[in-house]
Structure 1
């Protein structure tokens, strides 16, 4: 399994007169939603109180496998996980290849309730 990427042209925001450079950008290869994850987990374990830990481990394993396959993982109201890439820039689309990728990361886009949490936070300076 592999995460797919494509060349993406970007201008230098500090000097827009410079020519565009091309960067590797991750592209999603399908989606996995909460219902599909629940179905996959149901085949691996039962959901009883004593199995709650096993269910959480199975969820983690399924999220990892889906991200490894380049999919977006949608966890309903919780939010979405996706792989993101950073790469070196090159002058042409044809020059973009996997060796230019310098960093990969897991992006999390929180759902509405989690985003609302940020607006309701209070802050206190540590002493």
Structure 2
């Protein structure tokens, strides 16, 4: 199995006068939702599909609650979630307050097995 990609033209953000260059962009090949995950997990163990779904929903709620509190969520071998922020620069520490924050995002740092997956991927250009 190979990950499909397409060519995507992009301008150089540092010099918009330069000609565009083409970069590879991964193409998603469908998705897997909570229902599908719950069903798959139920076939792989003795837990029912509805129990798996309930656990996945609870996991999502608990991750959200922990992130709202500024905590790092460590999911063992799966990896870690954490809130990250970007801000405008200020001339002094005293001038820096919450109004300087321009963007927040959720960071995910994959565990070892997921990172190793990246070494085993193959790619093919979509036709």
TM-score (norm 1): 0.62
Larger C-alpha radius of gyration, 1 or 2?
A: 2
For residues 125 and 90 of structure 1, the distance between their equivalents in structure 2, rounded to whole angstroms, comes to: 45
Aligned residue in 2 for 1:101: 101
Helix, strand or coil: the match of 2:104?
strand
Alignment length (residue pairs): 81
Match of 2:54 in 1: 54
Deviation per CA, 1:19-40: give whole Å up to 9, x if none: xxxxxxxxxxxxxxxxxxxxxx
1:86 CA displacement: 0.4
- Partners in 1 of 2:51 and 2:117 — Cα distance? 29
Q: Any unmatched runs of 5+ in structure 1?
A: 1-46
- Deviation sequence 1:53-92 (CA, Å, 0-9, x none): 0110000000000000000000000000000000000111
The aligned residue for residue 23 of structure 2 is: none
Is 1:123 the counterpart of 2:120? The answer is no
2:67 corresponds to: 67
Task: List gaps (5 residues or longer) in structure 2.
Answer: 1-45
Q: Report which structure shows greater RCO (CA 8 Å, sep ≥6).
A: 1
Q: Which residue of 2 aligns with 1:16?
A: none
Per the TM alignment, residue 48 of structure 1 is displaced from its structure 2 partner at its CA by 3.8
TM-score by length of 2: 0.62
Alpha-carbon offset, residue 51 of structure 1: 1.1
